[in-house]
Amino acid sequence: MRHHGSEKIERFGFYLWHLKPRLLPARRVGILGVIAIVMLTGCDPAKEEYYEGQGQAERDIAKGELKIAVAEGTNLPVFWDYTELLKTRYKIGWYISTPAWTRGYNEVALPKIEQKLGTNALSQTLADAKKLHGQ
């Protein structure tokens, strides 16, 4: 009886099966390495949301759409005034999403908006919204 990849060794009056040492092909080592990393690090939903936000910002910018993201639960009393001013002045839309998605989106979108409109356009619009709101 032959076992693939092993050799028969006779010691102490009985047979032992001994596996021959073999190197794993590089492809298998790579795949096993990736599997090990995924198993050790796990799946982080916040990271996935962050990367999804970045991807959405890149797609919006590629289409020529400028938008900002606001995290759910953000206490911004002038939100409606602010977003209305952004829309009428600069044609900037908005999203409401999770904090991780918002962070990812804004890290890509805000520099593009500032590059196009100037570094103080968003802060000036927020200040104007506060004036309209009586703050």
Q: Which pLDDT value is given to residue 5?
A: 47
Q: Taking all residues of the chain, what is their mean pLDDT, rounded to a whole number? A: 81
**67, 118: one domain:** yes
**37, 69: one domain:** no
- Output the DSSP codes for the chain: ---TTEEEEEETTEEEEEEPP-PPPHHHHHHHHHHHHHHHH---HHHHHHHHHHHHHHHHHHTT-EEEEEETT---TTHHHHHHHHHHHH-EEEEEE-HHHHHHHHHHHHHHHHHHH-TTHHHHHHHHHHHHHT-
**63, 118: one domain:** yes
**80, 106: one domain:** yes
Does residue 1 lie in a domain region?
no
Q: Is the pLDDT of residue 6 over 50?
A: no
Q: What per-residue string of b and e applies to 5-21 under the rule 16 or more CB within 10 Å gives b?
A: eeeeeeeeeeeeeeeee
**68, 125: one domain:** yes
Does residue 116 lie in a domain region?
yes
**55, 36: one domain:** no
**71, 120: one domain:** yes
**20, 52: one domain:** no
Name the domain count of the chain: 2
Report field, pTM of the whole predicted structure over 0.75:
no
**49, 102: one domain:** yes
Mean pLDDT of 107-124: 95
**62, 112: one domain:** yes
β 66-71/92-97 pair status: parallel
Q: Which pLDDT value is given to residue 22?
A: 56
**69, 123: one domain:** yes
Alpha carbons 80 and 93: distance in angstroms, whole number: 12
- What's the domain range around 10? 6-41
Decide if 68 contacts 106 (C-beta within 8 A). Answer: yes
Report the candidate in 108, 51, 97 with the shortest Cα–Cα distance to residue 71: 97
